């Protein structure tokens, strides 16, 4: 009878093994601490994180790589299905490092997703990729250089780690958040030491996003390039640049103009002839002239605005 029982047990174990429920090797269950850490790091569901850890016997690195691979496949599939859906929301991201600044616009379908940390992380990756792109150019600056990148150029940029292209990160974000997204445009500015880059972002909000502390997000942004011969102004030039950027965002000038321009009223589009947003009794030209500041150029981004295509540089 014992022999018959042992035979039946062996047959049962064999059937389990053939069904994949048992194998002769050691199978580890997902470690709870590793599961929590993988979930926090990647943002994927506990079910998928557990599946990945089980699949690779608690090897977190292999599990994470597999999760990203699966998400990217799903992301490309979703991106194909969602293509053509309107992306009128999103964020403008501004990143400044020394005398180099970049401003980018990334779009999505809803403001709810625009406030999601995963979407903000995508905007940050676009900004960092643009910054590295312009810093990789040969430079011999006497004043400043400015360049624009369109959506197709942005997709081909490498991420900060250079492990993948931005288009791959876009697919991942679409796979995670389930909305259509587009990398719309970017501008970069590099300036010599005697040129200042003022920056301002409107509608900015706090974020817990790690890695890049000087990255800010909002709905409107401006960069203003200027020059001053007043050495005493050097310490406060960032505040003056911020004020000029605030004017550009609020008043939407179309050109810089010159100090000789006469004020043209409410419909004036030349920046120096416009009433200064923060001191309406003065024009911008009248405001900057006593400070010995020359406004050279500016760029304004408004999230979702309709614009003419800009040549890339």
Is residue 6 scored above 60 in pLDDT? no
Q: Are residues 268 and 201 in the same domain?
A: yes
Going through the chain in order, the beta strands assigned E by DSSP cover: 89-97, 100-108, 144-150, 182-191, 195-202, 215-218, 220-228, 275-276, 279-283, 293-302
pLDDT at 18: 44
Distance of CA 122 to the CA centre of its chain: 5
Q: Are residues 210 and 268 in the same domain?
A: yes
Q: Per the structure, how many domains does the chain have?
A: 2
Q: Which domain holds residue 251?
A: 89-302
pLDDT at 20: 42
Q: Are residues 111 and 154 in the same domain?
A: yes
User: Across the chain, what does the average pLDDT equal?
Assistant: 82
- The residue with greater pLDDT, 169 or 207, is 169
Is residue 247 scored above 90 in pLDDT? yes
Q: Are residues 131 and 59 in the same domain?
A: no
pLDDT at 119: 94
Which of 67, 83, 99 is a domain's end point?
83
- Residue 264 three-state SS: coil
Q: Are residues 54 and 170 in the same domain?
A: no
pLDDT at 52: 82
Q: Are residues 112 and 191 in the same domain?
A: yes
What whole-number percentage of the chain has pLDDT above 90? Answer: 44
Closest CA to 105 of 311, 307, 313: 307
Q: How far apart are CA 224 and CA 301, in angstroms?
A: 12
- The residue with greater pLDDT, 46 or 154, is 154
Q: Are residues 175 and 40 in the same domain?
A: no
Q: How far apart are CA 41 and CA 52, in angstroms?
A: 14
Q: The CATH number of the domain where 77 resides is what?
A: 1.10.8.10
Q: Are residues 244 and 116 in the same domain?
A: yes
pLDDT digits (tens, 9 = 90+) for 297-307: 999 999 998 76
Q: Are residues 68 and 193 in the same domain?
A: no
pLDDT at 148: 97
pLDDT at 312: 39
* 4 assigned to some structural domain: no
Least-confidence region, from 23-27, 57-61, 154-158: 23-27
Q: Are residues 101 and 225 in the same domain?
A: yes
Q: How far apart are CA 71 and CA 61, in angstroms?
A: 15
Least-confidence region, from 52-66, 70-84, 255-269: 70-84
* 94 assigned to some structural domain: yes
Q: How far apart are CA 166 and CA 156, in angstroms?
A: 6
- The residue with greater pLDDT, 119 or 71, is 119
Q: Are residues 239 and 269 in the same domain?
A: yes
pLDDT at 300: 98
Which of 56, 83, 110 is a domain's end point?
83
pLDDT at 173: 87
* Strands of 220-228's sheet in order across: 195-202, 220-228, 293-302
pLDDT at 46: 77
* 10 assigned to some structural domain: no
């Amino acid at each position: 009878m014992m022999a018959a029982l042992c035979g039946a047990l062996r047959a049962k174990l064999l059937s389990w093994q053939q069904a994949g429920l048992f194998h002769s090797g050691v199978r580890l269950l997902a470690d709870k601490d590793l599961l929590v850490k993988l979930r926090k790091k990647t943002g994927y569901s506990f079910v998928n994180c557990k599946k990945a850890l089980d699949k690779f016997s608690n090897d977190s690195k292999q599990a994470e790589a597999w999760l990203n691979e699966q998400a990217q496949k799903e992301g490309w599939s979703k991106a194909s299905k969602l293509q053509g859906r309107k992306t009128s929301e999103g964020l403008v991201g501004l990143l400044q490092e020394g005398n180099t600044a970049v401003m980018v616009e990334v779009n999505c379908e809803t403001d709810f997703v625009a406030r999601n940390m995963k979407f903000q992380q995508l905007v940050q990756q676009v900004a960092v990729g643009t910054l590295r792109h312009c810093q990789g150019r040969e430079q011999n600056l006497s004043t400043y250089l400015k360049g624009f990148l369109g959506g197709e150029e942005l997709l081909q940029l490498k991420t900060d780690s250079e492990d993948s292209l931005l288009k791959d990160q876009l697919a991942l974000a679409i796979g995670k958040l389930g909305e259509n997204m587009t990398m719309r445009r970017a501008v970069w500015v590099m300036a010599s030491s005697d040129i200042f880059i003022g920056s301002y972002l409107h509608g900015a909000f706090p974020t817990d996003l790690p890695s890049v502390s000087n990255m800010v997000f909002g709905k409107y942004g401006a960069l203003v390039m200027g020059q001053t011969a007043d050495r005493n102004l050097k310490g406060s030039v960032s505040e003056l640049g911020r004020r000029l950027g605030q004017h550009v965002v609020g008043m939407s000038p179309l050109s810089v103009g010159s100090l000789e321009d006469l004020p043209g009223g409410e419909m004036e589009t030349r920046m120096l002839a416009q009433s200064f947003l923060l001191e309406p009794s003065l024009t911008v030209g009248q405001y900057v002239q006593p400070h010995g500041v020359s406004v050279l150029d500016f760029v304004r981004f408004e999230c979702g605005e309709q614009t003419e295509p800009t040549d890339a540089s």
